[in-house]
Structure 1
Amino acid sequence: MSTNSADIPTPYTASVPRPAPDRAALRARIPGWGVDLDPADRPSGTVERIDPAAADRGMPPRQADDPGRERSIEHAFLTPVYGTAQPLHGLSGHIRRWAYARFSEGRVAHWLLLVAGDRVDAVGAHVRSLASAHPDNPITETGVLSETRRRPIRSRFGRGRIDQRHTWLDPLLVAGPWVLAGWLVLRGARRVLRRR
């Protein structure tokens, strides 16, 4: 049973210019446009085979819709299959949901909000670690101890390593949150002691 391609829903809602530009106009306007239209011109053309049975299957079976799952505003619905292992949570989840609900994936605000949500989640993980019985250990978990055993000078200089540009920033990013947390704890302890 063959299905019409117009019957298969597409998740993209952006409009396509109609009528489509003429091939000759595109070839004149864009250098190199359409170089791979002829299968004989494609390196992979000899191994490309389209299975007609697979082409008629259409969309794969859909997972049950999850109204709490984030979805780009460019898409009419969720993709047929999506991950559920790491559901969004807390303040970082609200920031990420807002990025998906409010801004297109083509906007910088969308991606900056996702980065901000990631940073909020990282800070939350550090705070939870400090409150647990086994807090993170920045000395052993960053691998800084291995620097002294694995030719630290020879591996750093004269090799053209790109990370040399931000080496000065690494201690601030790794130790900075710990120093700030320690300072806040000391400040809070002083206030409590002064009140008593």
Structure 2
Amino acid sequence: MPDDTVTAASTPSEGSASAAPPLRPRPPGWGADLPPQNRPAVPKERQPARLPGLHWTQPEQQQSHVHVLCSVERPGITPVFGTTVPPRGISGLLRGLAFRWSENDLRHWLVLLAADRVHVGEGLVDDLLRGRVPNIPAEMGMRAEWQHNPRGAVHKVGLAVGALALLYLLRRRR
């Protein structure tokens, strides 16, 4: 393995006008992508890698009781996956639409962002239908916004008041 230290011939002399700070012999993370026999941490690496005595090379497939969305790049669902928020309602339809496109397609991510916004609206409507009035300023973090960014909080409140005033004026015209 060649030595990557900087030699004295390549550094400016002490009496020169442009004295640079001393260079490190190697940058942080050096050697992480070297072949295993040349990596600095090889003597410390575990062989076998971890968790000795495993009885499987891949976990057994988790059973799905809800619809799980899968990327078009992968042949099937992963062995273990989350089912806490299954796709439902309009946001679920939007998510299903998004997963028709590849993950490198901008439409995929824009439709997922739109589905997130729609899901928030569905949650508000769901709260109102169950008789709960959501505390929107608290859920949006207005106390923290006021504490850490008062100008931004005033700006948001001003926009909200302006939008409500505009809605009021438009309804009053009718």
**TM-score when scaled to structure 1?**
0.53
Counterpart position of 2:45: 48
TM-superposed CA distance for 1:127, in Å, is 2.6
Whole-Å separation in 2 of the counterparts to 1:66 and 1:116 = 26
Q: Residue 46 of structure 1 aligns to a residue in which SS?
A: helix
TM-superposed deviation, 1:144: 3.3
| Equivalent pairs, count | 140
1:82-118 Cα shifts (integer Å, max 9, x gaps) = 1112111101001111111x11111111111111100
Quick check: 1:129–1:135 contact (8 Å CA) kept in 2?
yes
* Residue number in structure 2 paired with 1:115: 113
* Letter paired with 2:106: V
1:137 is aligned to 135
Report the AA paired with residue 75 of structure 1. R
2:135 is the counterpart of 1:125? no
Name the CA distance, whole Å, in 2 between partners of 1:82 and 1:147.
34
Write the distance in 1 (CA, Å) between the matches of 2:66 and 2:141: 41
User: What residue in structure 1 maps to residue 90 of structure 2?
Assistant: 91
Q: TM-score, normalised by structure 2?
A: 0.59
Q: Which runs of 5+ in 1 are unaligned?
A: 1-31, 158-163
Matches within 5 A, 1:44-193: 44-51=41-48, 57-65=56-64, 68-100=67-99, 102-145=100-143, 156=149, 170-171=156-157, 175=160, 179=164, 183=167, 187=171
One-letter amino acid matched to 2:67: G
Rounded Cα–Cα distance in structure 2 between residues aligned with 1:33 and 1:135: 57
Q: Deviations over 1:151-176 (max 9, x none)?
A: xxxx559xxxxxx7x66764478x48
> As a proportion of its length, which structure holds more helix?
1
CA RMSD of aligned residues (A): 4.1
Query: Which entry has the higher C-alpha Rg, 1 or 2?
Result: 2
Identity across matched positions, percent: 29
Distance 1:106 1:145, change over 3 A: closer
Structure 1 residues 39 and 106, CA, compared in 2 at 3 Å: closer, same or farther? farther
Q: Which runs of 4+ in 1 moved over 3 A?
A: 32-35, 52-57, 129-132, 139-148, 166-173
Q: Distance in 2 between matches of 1:54 and 1:103?
A: 40
Shift of 1:69: 1.1
Counterpart Cα distance in 1 of 2:38 and 2:61:
36
Q: Is the Cα contact below 8 Å between 1:63 and 1:81 reproduced in 2? A: yes
